[in-house]
Amino acid sequence: MERWKLATALALSLGLLAAGSAGAQQFNSDSYLSKPHGMATIILTYGERNSMIMNTFSLIPRWEFTAAAYVYDDDRNPSTDDGYSTSLYAKYMFYENKAKTGGFAVKAGTGLDPGYLDEENRLKDGFRSFWANAPATVPLFDNKVSWDLMPGASVSTDFGPDDTNAWLFTYTTRLAWYPTAPTWSLVGEVVGAEGKGASPAEFRVGFRWEPNQHAVFALTYDEEFKGGDGAGWEFGMMLFTPPFFQIGPRK
In tens, the pLDDT along 114-170 reads 555 555 554 455 577 889 999 999 999 999 999 999 999 988 876 666 667 888 899
In this structure, is residue 63 part of a structural domain? yes
Residue 80 and residue 91: Cα distance in Å, rounded?
Answer: 33
User: What pLDDT does 139 receive?
Assistant: 95
User: What mean pLDDT comes out for the span 225-229?
Assistant: 79
Q: Given a cut of 60, is residue 19 above it in pLDDT?
A: no
User: What pLDDT does 239 receive?
Assistant: 94
In this structure, is residue 249 part of a structural domain? no
Q: Given a cut of 70, is residue 2 above it in pLDDT?
A: no
User: What pLDDT does 157 receive?
Assistant: 79
Q: Higher model confidence: residue 226 or residue 202?
A: 202
| pLDDT, tens digit, 9 for 90 and up, residues 35-62 | 999 999 999 999 888 888 999 999 999 9
* DSSP states of 24-83: ----S---SPPPPTT-EEEEEEEESSEEEEEEEE--STTEEEEEEEEEE-TT--TT----
| pLDDT, tens digit, 9 for 90 and up, residues 77-99 | 655 555 677 889 999 999 999 99
In this structure, is residue 245 part of a structural domain? no
**Helices and strands, number each (H, E), in the chain:** 2, 14
In this structure, is residue 246 part of a structural domain? no
Please say whether the beta carbons of 90 and 65 come within 8 A. Answer: yes
User: What mean pLDDT comes out for the span 174-185?
Assistant: 92
> 53 is in which domain, residue-wise?
3-240
**Any idea what the CATH number is for the domain that residue 144 is in?**
2.40.160.40
In this structure, is residue 247 part of a structural domain? no
Residue 119 identity (one-letter amino acid) = E
| pLDDT, tens digit, 9 for 90 and up, residues 99-116 | 999 999 999 998 865 555
Which of 51, 49, 43 shows the shortest CA–CA distance to 7? 51
In this structure, is residue 140 part of a structural domain? yes
* Alpha carbons within 13 A on the beta-carbon side of 91: 23
In this structure, is residue 250 part of a structural domain? no
Please say whether the beta carbons of 54 and 46 come within 8 A. Answer: no
User: What pLDDT does 13 receive?
Assistant: 35
10 — pLDDT class (breaks 50, 70, 90): very low
In this structure, is residue 36 part of a structural domain? yes
- The total of structural domains in the chain comes to 1
